[in-house]
Amino acid sequence: MKVGVLVAMEKEYQLLQNLKDDHNVTVRKTGIGKVNAAINTTQLIHDIHPDIIISTGCAGGTTPKLNVMDVVVSQSVAYHDVYCCIEGEQMGQIQGMPRFFTTPHDIVKTALRLKYDGTIHAGLIASGDWFVDSPDKLKEITSLYPDALAIDMESAAIAQTCHIFNIPFVSFRVISDVPTKHDSLNDYDNFWGTVSQNSFHIVQDFIRNLDNRES
């Protein structure tokens, strides 16, 4: 099975260097934001024709029930900054595309069975070109998606690209801050100072379990 792994930032990329020892796994850095994510996803698909694409990195949490270092696995992803103003389309939906891009059920089940020191949650990840650093912006997004667990800047663009090319997709997001719970900017800075590589090793464990997943 050929696996493509995408991360946005150099810090995240460095934490996943050990995956490069597996010849069936290709790790790429996309850069931050939707356009960078979509371009590099398309290039990855063209280069290796993967059987699955994994997006991983950090994200902001939406609820005080989440803690820094928890992991959110995508059951679905959606845009929080899209408005097409077309009859029949909903907020967050691009014309001709589903509003929600879903991860196959067996992939989510495999992710939830992984061993991890923190808590693994499955749910909705909302994406947009906005670094959410205030409770007011978070409230705006959760009013659109009350069920969203995490907010990032790449997952939905990667998921849409995978949807177009008919490739299974999953996003793993390690919670770096929770704007409603703490000082989110300090949490984010401290996250990079104390983050354990074990948080990103969950992706390696997931890949090892892919062939044993259940429907």
What residues are labeled active site?
Answer: 12, 177
Distance CA 149, CA 22 (A): 31
Q: Which two tokens stand for residue 144?
A: 């659109």
